[in-house]
């Protein structure tokens, strides 16, 4: 599975809670645990107790960064948290979130999932106005935009509304002031953001699985452009920036989101099963076994098996105790990482014609290594099926899809990719079937990485 090892990475995950009973840092901790798949480089939590803000953040996993003593120091009636994978800005500690600022109107804590476009010009504009940046993350630009707008707006939520109206790109935000917790989604709806309840507590999260993990109940998703304000337990909505348009990243369904999440009314698990069924219709093959590459290839493999009638089996064992920090960027290390991360089950695949379902091919090198594992385990044939179309263009909105010169589909035909990876056959999900994988989704989609057509100029 190339995304796990050397290609795509998750974006980021945000979580926020207002709870008059307190304990918000602990709730946020468990919420971030459920969102750990969206980013493993760094994490952090900021909390409000009375009107005092405290925070802690560092590089590492949620379980590595926080302990009970740290969480006890952060206790309060509001909190926001973040897990990070760097799509802009380096992975150092200073780029970890929440971003916390002190300015003439008080304090703010901001967490952000997504990427802005036009950040170089925006950063220059702020610098000519005297801004001093402490990070290389575009999230700091958002914090500055809100703080600057607050100087001439009546309230924090008005400042968020004004800033969001003038920012371009993908941003699902949580903003915490001493008295208010504010959730904001960009007018194009690139990234998910949902709201839930647990008794008197109000919860926000990138995915519904995080709300469920803390015992909450999903209430709804924020509309593209919507701002939700929580103040003293009262919830109100601002829809001044709502455009009636939606361009959810379709790769949320294919790879990023957790299978037990529901996004825009569509089960992520079912969307992946649907993708596998569509693959079986488009690219049938005679085989003895269908297997998936952990983790996001597993559900699609089930769908392929159901539609084709070929038995589904477990072809790989994944080592879940190897973090991303183990992996170094040189090619030799990547290839060794495949063997550390995955092992083929010879007892399942030996002597069999295998359909191997994965979610994507980026460079192709990792796919070749995984197919080699199956060959060494005795697989007679390996037929690779990909539950997404070929990548032909980068993503500018928070997904780490690289430039064209690093995308194998931009320089090779499907037959050439098949030959380079060593597969006996190769089939991608077609563009015609792409949007059919999420029939229950109440949203439109961004599929620019597959089509080179983006909702906004990049």
Structure tokens at 201: 């507590």
**What is the β-pairing status of strands 12-18 and 42-49?**
unpaired
Question: Angle, nearest 10°, between helix axes 268-282 and 296-308?
Answer: 50
Q: 2-246 has which CATH code?
A: 3.60.20.10
Reduced to 3 states (helix: H, G, I; strand: E, B; else coil), residue 231 is strand
Query: Cα dist. 427→26, 355, 388, 456 in Å?
Result: 45, 10, 10, 30
Does the pTM of the predicted model rise above 0.85?
Answer: yes
Does residue 303 have a cis peptide bond before it, meaning omega lies within 30 degrees of 0? no
Residue 334 has pLDDT above 70, yes or no: no
User: What are the CA-CA distances from residue 194 to residues 104, 139, 173, 209, 393 (Å)?
Assistant: 31, 20, 11, 10, 29
Query: CA nearest 349: which of 288, 306, 280, 308?
Result: 288
**Domain 262-443 in the same topology as domain 2-246:** no
The pLDDT score that the predictor gives to residue 1 is: 42
Phi, psi of 267 (to 5 degrees): -65, 130
Are 138 and 115 a contacting pair, CB within 8 Å?
yes
Q: Does position 326 have pLDDT exceeding 50, yes or no? A: no
Number of residues in the chain: 458
Q: pLDDT tens for residues 443-455?
A: 999 999 999 999 9
> What number is the average pLDDT over the span 385-411?
90
Tokens found for residue 227: 């701002």
Residues pairing with 386 in the sheet: 358, 428
* Ranges 6-10, 217-221, 246-250, 433-437: which has the least confidence: 6-10
Beta strands (DSSP E) in 271-415 are 289-292, 316-318, 342-344, 353-358, 381-386
Token code pair at residue 432: 């015609």
Query: In this predicted structure, what is the pLDDT of residue 437?
Result: 97
Confidence (pLDDT) at 408:
95
- Average pLDDT value over all residues in the chain: 91
Q: What pLDDT is attached to residue 92?
A: 67
* CA atoms of 309 and 175, how far apart (whole Å): 49
**Where are the alpha helices (H) located in 155-295, listed in sequence order?**
156-166, 208-213, 251, 268-282
**Catalytic residue positions?**
12
169 with 114: CB under 8 angstroms? yes
Burial of 51 (0-12, 13-18, 19+ CB in 10 A): exposed
365-376 vs 331-341: helix axis angle to the nearest 10? Answer: 40
Q: How far apart are CA 76 and CA 213, in angstroms?
A: 20
pLDDT tens digits, one per residue of 232-270: 999 999 999 998 889 999 999 999 999 999 999 999 999
Of 5, 22, 93, nearest to 323 by C-alpha is 5
250 and 447 in contact (C-beta within 8 Å)?
yes
Query: Which pLDDT does position 133 carry in this prediction?
Result: 81
Whether 357 and 310 have beta carbons less than 8 Å apart is answered as no
How far from each other are the two terminal CA atoms of the chain, in whole angstroms?
A: 29
C-beta pairs of 60-66 under 8 Å, 24+ apart in sequence: 61/36, 61/323, 62/29, 62/32, 62/33, 62/36, 63/33, 66/29
- pLDDT at residue 432 tops 80: yes
Domain 262-443: give its CATH architecture.
3-Layer(aba) Sandwich (3.40)
Of 130 and 63, which is predicted with more confidence?
A: 63
Domain ranges of the chain: 2-246, 262-443
Q: What are phi and psi of 277, to 5 degrees?
A: -65, -45
User: Burial of 192 by CB count in 10 Å (0-12 exposed, 13-18 middle, 19+ buried)?
Assistant: buried
* Two structure tokens written together for 58: 């560092």
**Residue 216: how many CB atoms within 10 A of its CB?**
22
pLDDT at 328: 47
**DSSP assigned state of 39:** -
Question: Residue 389 gets which letter from DSSP?
Answer: P
DSSP-assigned beta bridge partners for residue 196: 203, 218
| DSSP β-bridge partners for residue 172 | 113, 185
Q: 100-116: string of b/e by CB count within 10 Å (b at 16+)?
A: bbeeeeebbbbbbbbbb
State mean pLDDT over 424-442.
97
- Bridge partners, residue 289, by sequence: 354
């Amino acid at each position: 599975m190339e995304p796990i090892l050397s290609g795509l990475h998750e974006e980021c995950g945000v979580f926020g809670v207002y709870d008059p009973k307190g304990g918000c840092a602990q709730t946020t901790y468990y919420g971030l645990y459920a969102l750990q798949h969206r980013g493993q480089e760094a994490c952090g939590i900021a909390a409000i107790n009375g009107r005092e803000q405290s925070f802690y953040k560092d590089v590492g996993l949620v379980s590595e960064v926080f302990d009970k003593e740290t969480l006890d120091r952060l206790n309060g009636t509001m909190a926001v948290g973040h897990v990070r994978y760097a799509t802009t800005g380096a992975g150092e500690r200073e780029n970890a979130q929440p971003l916390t600022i002190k300015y003439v109107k008080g304090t703010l804590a901001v967490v952000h999932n997504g990427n802005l476009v036009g950040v170089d010009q925006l950063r220059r504009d702020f610098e000519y106005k005297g801004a001093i940046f402490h990070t290389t993350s575009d999230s700091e630009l958002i914090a500055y935009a809100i703080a600057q707008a607050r100087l001439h707006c009546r309230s924090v939520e008005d400042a968020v509304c004004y800033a969001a109206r003038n920012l371009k790109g993908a941003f699902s935000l949580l903003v915490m002031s001493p008295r208010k917790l504010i959730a904001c989604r960009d007018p194009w709806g690139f990234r998910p953001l949902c709201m839930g309840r647990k008794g008197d507590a109000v919860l926000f999260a990138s995915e519904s699985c995080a709300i469920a993990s803390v015992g909450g109940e999903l209430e709804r998703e924020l509309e593209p452009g919507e701002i939700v304000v929580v103040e003293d337990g009262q919830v109100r909505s601002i829809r001044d920036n709502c455009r009636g348009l939606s361009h959810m990243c379709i790769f949320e369904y294919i790879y990023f989101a957790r299978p037990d999440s529901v996004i825009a009314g569509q089960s992520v698990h079912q969307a992946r099963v649907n993708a596998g069924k569509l693959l079986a219709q488009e690219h049938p093959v005679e085989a003895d076994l269908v297997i998936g590459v952990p983790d996001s290839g597993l559900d699609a493999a089930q769908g392929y098996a159901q539609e084709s009638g070929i038995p589904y089996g477990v072809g790989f064992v994944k080592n879940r105790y190897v973090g991303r920090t183990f992996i170094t960027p040189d090619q030799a290390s990547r290839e060794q990482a495949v063997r550390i991360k995955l092992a083929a089950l010879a007892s399942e695949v030996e002597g069999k014609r295998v359909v191997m379902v994965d979610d994507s091919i980026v460079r192709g090198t990792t796919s070749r290594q995984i197919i080699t594992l199956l060959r060494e385990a005795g697989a007679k044939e390996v037929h690779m099926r990909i539950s997404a179309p070929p990548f032909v263009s980068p993503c500018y909105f928070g997904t780490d899809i690289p430039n064209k010169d690093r995308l194998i589909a931009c320089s090779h035909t499907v037959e050439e990719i098949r030959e380079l990876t060593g597969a006996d056959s190769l089939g991608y999900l077609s563009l015609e079937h792409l949007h059919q994988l999420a029939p229950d989704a109440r949203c439109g989609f961004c599929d620019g990485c597959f089509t080179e057509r983006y909702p906004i100029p990049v």
